[in-house]
Amino acid sequence: MQDCPIGFHSADRARPPRLSRQVSQRPWRLVLAGLAAACLLMGCAAPPRVPPAAPGPPPRPRLTPQETTLEQAMRDFYGSPYRSGGASPTGVDCSGLVLAVFQRVGLALPRTAAQQFETGEPVPLEGLRFGDVVFFNRLCQTKKADPYLAGIFNPLAAQEICHNGIYLGDGRFLHASVRGVQVASLHADLWRRSYMGARRFLLPGRLSSP
End-to-end CA distance of the chain: 134
Helices marked H in 104-166: 113-117, 147-153
* Category of 73 on φ-ψ map: left (φ > 0), alpha (ψ -120 to 50) or beta: alpha
The Cα diameter of the chain in Å comes to 134
The DSSP 8-state label assigned to residue 199 in this structure reads E
How many whole angstroms separate alpha carbon 105 and alpha carbon 66? 6
Its sign, for the CA torsion 80, 178, 74, 189, is: positive
Give the span between the Cα atoms of 11 and 192, in whole angstroms. Answer: 101
For 89, residues 6+ apart whose C-beta sits below 8 A from its C-beta are 76, 77, 80
Q: Which residues are catalytic?
A: 94, 163, 175
If you ran DSSP here, which 8-state letter would residue 82 be given?
Answer: B
